[in-house]
Structures are given as structure tokens and as C-alpha cells.
Structure 1
Amino acid sequence: GGKTWILVDTAGIRRRVHQTSGADFYASLRTQAAIEKAEVAVVLLDGFAMLTEQDVRVIQQVIDAGRALVIAINKWDLVDDDRRYYLYKELDRELVQMQWAPRINLSAKTGWHTNRLVRALETSLEGWDTRIPTGRLNAFLGELVAANPHPVRGGKQPRILFATQVQNRPPRFVVFATGFLEAGYRRFIERRLRETFGFEGTPMEISVRVREKRRR
């Protein structure tokens, strides 16, 4: 009665983008195709190596494709305390916009902590599949905006009229407002949505539609 997981292994791409060889180019195309077909992607990083431009690019491909994401750090059993400290700082710095993705430390060679992978996959897929009822979403936004209204810009303050989740897998929201919401305020809404409803392991999109408030 257990779940069956179909894993598609893609070739590692270690070069910088502008140094890509023919083999790396076709490997990157196969990686993109695999991401498009997947529901959740596991991006495997080398615990001994510095995070590369290509690593970040593959993670961004997963996000752009709207797929659930798990970040796995390999060879963790061989990494000493100093390297772990600097690796965590490096990941926090380079992946600051992807803090929502579960990270697991494992060893593919020995199997150490690989049992944690399924739990991380399930967590990310659950976040990817989450849908918030419209009534609950607007009650949440009403409280949020009352406590933290959008800043006034040029003498105007856009007001959120209502919002709806138009899609899951991945979650996409449309917010109707009297004016455009700044990117920083949209990030604030996203952060609070994640804190309140989970959405761990999934990218999220919040778009704004401007509507003039009806005059009575």
C-alpha cells in the first residue's frame, strides 16, 4: 500500500553557463525537459563544492516551471563543522528567495539520511497542491491589511478589494486592488501566506489587477 515514486536522474552540469560544451548544452536541455515533466524536483548539491552559477540556474528553472522543490546536499557525512557553517551561510546568501524549499543533508553513496527524502518530497508536494478557500483567504487578507496597510505613495494608498486563488500546482493568486501593489508589499503578503498556510516547498505567484472602486 506504499507510494511508488518515479525518479528521473539527469546528468550533472558543472560548467559555467558561458563555458558550456556541446555535451553540457544537451544535458541542460534534457534537464529542462525532465523538470517540465516532473511534479517535484530534487536539486542535488555537492557539500564539498562551492555553490555554482549552474546550481542556482537549475533551481531557478524549477521555480520558473512552477514545480515543487527539494534541495538535497550530498556527501554531508564527510563535511566537517567548519565547512557546514560556511555552506549554510553560502546557501542562505545565494538562495535567499528560496528559503521556503526544504533542505535535507544526505549521503547518496552510503544511504545516510536518504530516508528523509520521501518526507521532504511529500512536504513539497503538499505545499504545491494547497488551495485556500476564497472566504478564508479574504478574511486573512482583511486582518493583514488592517494591521499592515500598503504605504502611501504620491498621496495615494492602494487598497486591496479582494483576492482569489486561481490555481494550485503551483499556487497562483490574483489580488484585486485600487492601485498597483509594490513588489515589496507583494513579497510581504507571500511571506505571511507561507507563515499562515504552509506552502512549504512550492513557488508561489501573486499578481495584481487594478480596479477603480465603484462610485456610489
Structure 2
Amino acid sequence: MANKTDGIDVDQAMADFWSLGLGDIYPIAASHGRGVTSLLEQALLPWVDEVNPQEEVDEDAEYWAKFEAEQNGEAEEEPEDDFNPQDLPIKLAIVGRPNVGKSTLTNRILGEDRVVVYDMPGTTRDSIYIPMQRDEREYVLIDTAGVRKRGKITDVVEKFSVIKTLQAIEDANVVLLVIDAREGISDQDLSLLGFILNSGRSLVIVVNKWDGLSQEVKEQVKETLDYRLGFIDFARVHFISALHGSGVGNLFESVREAYDSATRRVSTAMLTRIMNMAAEDHQPPLVRGRRVKLKYAHAGGYNPPIVVIHGNQVKDLPDSYKRYLMNYFRKSLDVMGTPIRIQFKEGENPFANKRNTLTPNQMRKRKRLIKHIKKSK
């Protein structure tokens, strides 16, 4: 879609997009709502007939049914998922500002000059997908265009290069964010980092051009990294020289670690056990005079790992306690190299309003108890 079409000649603007051969283009003006309804109709109407609300699964009911079966000794083992992430190639995107050495790093990893390298910034204009194998693992390297500050992006081709880079990040399993050690961390590095985190991609930070720096400068760079990237406590940081190859070989251990953490399957029982341990170590706070109750947890997705916690008033938990839970899950599961997300869902016990069927012996005890209470009055 092409946004911000208000106040311009739409036909003339669309002609530029059509010339790029990108397929159907939908002009919209999001701020005024123009064209949005038409876009939604084009995107959603073909799928309306395939949606069946009756097929939605009540996750709470499913969990409590399993819980009741466990109490009665009727629980069945959860079937193993046939999906094995180890069978798929790891898509590895190499991103960063222009001229930080992304293509040089790609060539160093491949051991051949597959990507043309120039000193002039911006020579890579499109994302380049290159299959490779290393240590008996399949990879797809994605060499991307450099991303500059928005105010400096004026060329139409460069704008689409940036879009391609952002798409490559979302398409990747693991992202290598390359930073120039001699220029330090820029606001654009932080913007790219924010996009990577919002996309939920696994991350390895690569500080390039480390060779030739004095020990004093290296210490200053490390202090700056600790200060400006202190909130990224899950990502490995590597100091390398793509030109000379020092430190490059160690990258793939962190890449595999990040990918394995992001795609690891964890059972509902384990997640619930970790949640209960976290609540025992540090009780949930009171909300409007009532203690927040955490019922159970289960996996809600992978790459990035998502933990769904069900309970009462969980959506009212303060951010500090949510961060505590996230860090507790990260340490307990030994998750490294990937962000972990926690979603909270209010739920009711579907068996709360159902009465248990009493056995004949329980019925007799109940009658005797009622008789005794009446006599005592």
C-alpha cells in the first residue's frame, strides 16, 4: 500500500510505483481514512468464508479438562510435535548502517568474494540471499542495504532498499547487527535495534573494525556499549575484524544458541511450574485489595518464545512484576540470544459452577452431618 496520498495527484504518484513492478498498489491516506475501507475489503473479504467461529478453542476449558483427567489418573501424554527446527536452514540477516562492513563480513563468512565491496556507502541496494553450510548446519545469509537516517534518504531506489532491509529482518530467524567500533553507537543503530526487538527476532551484536584500536579506545567503546545497550541483556556481543577475519568464526556458536533458544519447545507443565516458583519467590502484588492469582502458563508461540499466563486480574499487574516474570522465565529456561514475550489472559474456571456428584458413602455422611447440626440447634 502507498500511504499519505492526501493532497497529491494520486494517479501520477501511482505511476512511479507501478513502474517498479511490485504488483497491486493500494493508495490510502491513513490520517483521513481515505482508501482504508477498500483496502480492508480487498485483503479480508476473500477469507471471510473460511472463518468458522464455532471452531475456536476454549483454552481454559481445555486446560481444566486436562487437570481433571490428571486428578482421576486418566491423563494422556501430550503428542510430540513433528516439527523439528533443526531440519530447516537458519536465515541469518546481516544489517547495519552503510559502510560498517556488512558485505565484507558476508564475504569473510563465505570465504569468497560473492558480494561486491566498495568504500562508498550504499553500494548494496537490494537484499541478497545466499545459501551456505557450516558445521553440518544449513544457513541462508541475507546481506542487506545499509540504513541511514530518515532525513538523509532521498533517492527512491534507496527508500526501497531500506524497505527491503526491514523486510529481511522480519524474514530472518537471527539478525547480526553490525556496528562500527570507530564510529560508536549512533541513533540509527538504536533505531535498527528497536525494529529488530519489535519484530521479535533473535539477535547477535557484532562490533566490527576492532583491529587497530588501542587498548584505551577499546575500553571506552566497551563502556559506551554497556551504557547505551544495557537494556539488551540477552544478546551476545562479539568484537571482530571482518577484513582480517579475527573473531568471525565465533559468531556461529552464538547464532545457533539464539536460534535454538527461539525455537525450543517447552511443555505446559514446565512453564506452569516455573510460574509457580516465581510466584512463591515473589508474590504477585495486591490489586484493589485482592491478590493477583496466576493459574497456569503455556507456550503461545516460538521465534520469539511467547509464554501465555492465565489468571485473575493478570492484566492489572504492574510493569515491574511483568519484567520480573519475564526475567525469571529467561533464567529458568536458560534463554539466550532471543527476546521472550509474556502475554496475560484473564480466565474463568469452567468447572466453578458445576457440582460434584457425591458417592453413596458421601451422601450418608452428609445426611448424618445435617442431622447432627439440626439436633445441636
- TM-score, structure 2 length as denominator? 0.53
Give the Cα separation in 1 of the matches to 2:293 and 2:266: 21
Residues 1:69 and 2:199 are matched in the alignment:
no
1:12 partner SS: coil
Which structure 2 residues correspond to residues 48-197 of structure 1 after superposition, within 5 A? 48-179=182-313, 180=315, 181-197=317-333
Give the Cα separation in 1 of the matches to 2:158 and 2:234: 29
Q: CA deviation at 1:175?
A: 0.7
Contact 2:310-2:345 at 8 Å conserved across structures: yes
Alpha-carbon distance change, 93 to 122 in structure 1, aligned in 2, over 3 angstroms: same
Q: CA deviation at 1:186?
A: 1.2
Q: CA deviation at 1:127?
A: 1.0
Give the Cα separation in 1 of the matches to 2:150 and 2:222: 24
Q: Deviations over 1:106-145 (max 9, x none)?
A: 1000000100011111111011112221111111111210
Q: For 2:338, give the aligned amino acid.
A: T
Give the Cα separation in 1 of the matches to 2:321 and 2:151: 35
Give the Cα separation in 1 of the matches to 2:175 and 2:297: 29
Residues 1:207 and 2:343 are matched in the alignment:
yes
Alpha-carbon distance change, 177 to 86 in structure 1, aligned in 2, over 3 angstroms: farther
1:76 partner SS: coil
Identity, in percent, stands at 23
Unaligned segments of structure 2, at least 5 residues: 1-134, 355-377
Q: For 2:337, give the aligned amino acid.
A: G
Contact 2:177-2:206 at 8 Å conserved across structures: yes
Q: CA deviation at 1:86?
A: 2.6
1:201 partner SS: coil
- TM-score, structure 1 length as denominator? 0.90
Residue 40 of structure 1: aligned partner: 174
Q: Deviations over 1:192-211 (max 9, x none)?
A: 11111122111221111123
Q: For 1:74, give the aligned amino acid.
A: N
Contact 2:330-2:340 at 8 Å conserved across structures: no
Q: For 1:199, give the aligned amino acid.
A: V
Give the Cα separation in 1 of the matches to 2:235 and 2:149: 24
Q: For 2:252, give the aligned amino acid.
A: V
RMSD: 2.0
Residue 26 of structure 2: aligned partner: none
Q: For 1:189, give the aligned amino acid.
A: L
Residue 141 of structure 2: aligned partner: 7
Alpha-carbon distance change, 133 to 157 in structure 1, aligned in 2, over 3 angstroms: same
Residues 1:16 and 2:16 are matched in the alignment:
no
1:43 partner SS: strand
Q: CA deviation at 1:36?
A: 2.0
Q: CA deviation at 1:24?
A: 4.6
Q: Which has the larger radius of gyration?
A: 2
Q: Higher relative CO (CA 8 A, sep ≥ 6), structure 1 or 2?
A: 1
Structure 1 stretches of 4+ with a deviation exceeding 4 A read: 212-216
Contact 1:131-1:167 at 8 Å conserved across structures: no
Give the Cα separation in 1 of the matches to 2:223 and 2:291: 38
Alpha-carbon distance change, 148 to 30 in structure 1, aligned in 2, over 3 angstroms: same
Q: CA deviation at 1:164?
A: 0.7
Unaligned segments of structure 1, at least 5 residues: none
Give the Cα separation in 2 of the matches to 1:184 and 1:87: 30
2:141 partner SS: coil
Give the Cα separation in 1 of the matches to 2:171 and 2:136: 22
1:6 partner SS: strand
Give the Cα separation in 2 of the matches to 1:167 and 1:135: 16
